[in-house]
Amino acid sequence: MPVQFSFNVFAESKPSHGQDIIYLRNEGGSFGSFGVSPREAKVEYSWLEVDENGDETGSSTCYHPHDEQPEGHILQVLFDDEVAGPDALWMDDDTYFNIIENHLRKYEE
């Protein structure tokens, strides 16, 4: 019986700062092969400094949920150490593990 997972698209739904998630990491291989693998991550927000042209300066500032956006900064979302792109696929880790646990439980009976 198939097991279905519903992942969120980052551009449409962002995880919360500090949330534990599962995301699908792109895995490039040899000879042009391609795949994805599920990875656990803690979501971290930070303020990334940009210059007047919108180019990243390489500096960032810690994010605090109640702060206003600092001038000259954009919000950057990291899945562990990887910047989340607009096409990143993610889901809450509790949901992910509950789906697996419920599936396995069917075969224990």
Of 82, 52, 65, 53, residue with least CA distance to 18: 65
Each domain of the chain, given as residue ranges in start order, spans: 8-108
The more confident residue out of 102 and 20 is 20
Of 19, 24, 37, residue with least CA distance to 93: 19
Query: Which tens digit of pLDDT belongs to each residue from 73-85?
Result: 999 999 988 999 9
* CA atoms of 52 and 73, how far apart (whole Å): 10
Of 86, 79, 23, 20, residue with least CA distance to 46: 79
**What is the structure's pLDDT at 29?**
65
Per-residue pLDDT band at 107 (split at 50, 70, 90): confident
Residue 84's Cβ-count burial label (10 Å; 0-12, 13-18, 19+) is buried
* Strand partners for 85: none
Average pLDDT over residues 81-100: 94
Q: Which amino acid is at 99?
A: I
**What is the structure's pLDDT at 32?**
67
**What is the structure's pLDDT at 105?**
86
* CA atoms of 67 and 49, how far apart (whole Å): 15
Query: Which tens digit of pLDDT belongs to each residue from 3-61?
Result: 899 999 999 999 999 999 999 987 766 676 678 889 999 999 999 999 999 999 999 99
pLDDT over 70 (residue 103): yes
